[in-house]
Amino acid sequence: MPAWVRFRRSSRPDGLHILGHLILTCASLADAARAAERYHPLVSQAGTVTLHRPGGTGHICYRPTVGPPAMHPQQVEAVLSSMVRAARWIAGDDWTPLAVSFAHPRTGAAEPYTRVFGCPVAFGAPENAITVAGEDLDRRRPLYDPALNGLHRAYADRLLHQLSAAAPTVTERVRQWLEHTALGDAGPEGPARQLNLSVRTLRRALHAEGTSWRALLDTARHRRARRLLETTALPLDRIAPLIGLSGATALVRAFTRWEGMPPGAYRSRHRGRG
């Protein structure tokens, strides 16, 4: 029996983190999925949960944010198994999703997967996802206590605020990546790969933090240009490609926008101060 099947059987509400207690008091599966999407970092920062609703179905997706050495396929299977188990606390023990998919290939027999999830299970798929019928997502629970749910949600918000204040933001991690990479051909694919995110998810995260890839790259070019002007005698046509600009003219235009003076004047002023 796979270890994640034993994990699923041993999971019980009395051993839950705050996210589990919050999910137990949600009004519907859609409400629970949105709670998991927002508060999953309280449980683990090794992956993200997202809810997509194209057409009449919903896809609750799990994307690891760490590489394969740190995230074994069985851990992904345990995550989706626990999500289905949590859904059954809301929808009933006999509830089953329409389908479950994993991005990794299957190892071992197919029967335990079908037995645990109660639906078709695919491997080698584009996403780790649980597919849910739209009517199942939106069906409200007969017993729902909004006051209790609000208490759990307020506590989870406080914990999330504390966590975000202590952890480096996506913006900071992208800044660090730009600080140590060649800017000549830098693109968002680089930091996205390092953070194990899609480029689209990276852009969304930066937007949520009030910035963008373009703005961070522009700042990195500015900082690199100043450093090269201050510490080297390289001509402008050599500096430009090092910071990802097409030539000296583009560098003069960009640097004048950044500093209010052309790069030659900046270099002369810096040397004069030395």
- Report, as an integer, the average pLDDT of 129-141: 95
Torsion on CA atoms 267, 269, 271, 274, rounded to nearest 10: -140
**How confident is the model over 92-99, as a mean pLDDT?**
95
Provide mean pLDDT across the span 245-259: 95
pLDDT of res. 148:
94
Q: Residue range 33-58: average pLDDT?
A: 88
pLDDT at residue 255 is higher than 80: yes
- Give every CB contact of residue 156 below 8 A, 6+ residues apart in sequence: 18, 19, 22, 35, 39, 42
For residues 34 and 13, what is the distance between their CA atoms, to the nearest angstrom? Answer: 19
What pLDDT sits at residue 203? 93
Q: Bridge partners of 165?
A: none
Q: Provide the pLDDT confidence category of residue 2 given band limits of 50, 70 and 90.
A: very low
CA angle 75, 78, 79 (to 5 degrees): 90
The pLDDT value given to residue 135: 95
Query: Which stretch of DSSP H or E encloses residue 98?
Result: none
138-176 pLDDT per residue, tens = 999 888 899 999 999 999 999 988 877 777 889 989 999
pLDDT at 46: 80
Residue type, 6: R
For residue 273, name the pLDDT band (cuts at 50, 70, 90). Answer: low
pLDDT score recorded for residue 3: 43
Share of the chain above pLDDT 90, in %: 68
Strands in 47-52's sheet, in edge-to-edge order, are 47-52, 57-64, 128-133, 99-101, 121-122
pLDDT at residue 30 in the model: 95
Token pair in block for residue 274: 């030395």
C-beta separation of 251 from 263 below 8 A: yes
Residue 244 pLDDT: 94
| Separation between Cα atoms, residue 97 and residue 119, nearest integer Å | 6
- Residues in Cβ contact with 7 at an 8 Å cutoff, skipping those fewer than 6 apart: 78, 81, 82
Residue 132 pLDDT > 70, yes or no? yes
Secondary structure element (H or E) that encloses residue 52, with its range: strand 47-52
**pTM (global) more than 0.75:** no
Burial of 72 (0-12, 13-18, 19+ CB in 10 A): middle
